[in-house]
A and B are shown apart, each in its own frame.
Chain A
Amino acid sequence: MSDVKKFMFVNRKAPYGTIYALEALEVVLITAAFDQDVSLVFMDDGVYQLKKGQQTKGIEIKNFSPTYRALEGYDIEKLYVEQESLEARGLTEDDLLVDVTVMTRAEMSELMDQQDVVLSF
């Protein structure tokens, strides 16, 4: 199918402090209906979106982190996390609530270069 395009969503913001992370997730869920080749990248503070153990009762904001685990059911299985971003935040793959592929900055930039559409959040 030649009409399938490679869409990459680049998540660079922490959850809750701004609305970007939640908005990106909603756009991704909608995009899933169009049967495109979708991948999600988490880099910079975006890696914090996937941190295990988020408890938002105290700030009275909906905890949307469980929704990342629903992505598999939406056939969105390409989740990439930049290694350098994890390290700069004292996090490891074990701290994340979904299965991801951890990549180096160089690998990530290569992958980004291959996309048809890159959407940044």
Chain B
Amino acid sequence: MLHIVNKSPLQNGALDSCLRMAKAGSQVLLIEDAVYAATAGNACEGKIRAAMQNLQVFVLGPDLAARGLSDRVIEGVSSVDYGGFVELTIANPNCQSWL
């Protein structure tokens, strides 16, 4: 299953809810203001690193670039473009957008 989060982890509980619900082996894609969660030094870096023990974490590259943070992605998080976004949705049988 693909989980998509679009809210900043420091101002909204969507990422926490997502990480709590996501089963091992699931994929998580961070887009829009959720890309901040994938940046080194953010207070939730530890949370993301822990999640990567059994989840795959992706981040949408154009949203990172827009926010001036392309060079700060946490090691192990994969950056994808819009094409990669589409491929993730196709590769997974279902998908949950955490609003």
Residues of A within 8 A of B (CB): 12-18, 44-45, 48, 51-59, 61, 63, 65, 88-91
- Measured between beta carbons, the chain B residues less than 8 angstroms from A59 are 62-63, 66
- Measured between beta carbons, the chain B residues less than 8 angstroms from A52 are 68
- B36 contacts A by Cβ under 8 Å: yes
Q: Is the CB of A16 within 8 A of B40?
A: no
Residues of B within 8 A of A (CB): 6-8, 10-11, 32-33, 36, 39-43, 45, 61-63, 65-70, 72, 81
Question: Could you list 25 examples of A-B contacts with CB < 8 Å?
Answer: A14-B8, A14-B33, A14-B36, A16-B33, A16-B63, A16-B67, A17-B7, A17-B8, A45-B8, A45-B11, A51-B69, A53-B68, A53-B70, A54-B68, A55-B65, A55-B68, A58-B65, A58-B81, A59-B62, A88-B10, A89-B41, A89-B43, A90-B39, A90-B40, A91-B41
Whole-angstrom distance between the Cβ of A12 and the nearest chain B Cβ: 8
Q: Is the CB of B66 within 8 A of A56?
A: yes
- Measured between beta carbons, the chain A residues less than 8 angstroms from B72 are 90
Q: Is the CB of A90 within 8 A of B45?
A: yes
- Measured between beta carbons, the chain B residues less than 8 angstroms from A48 are 36, 67
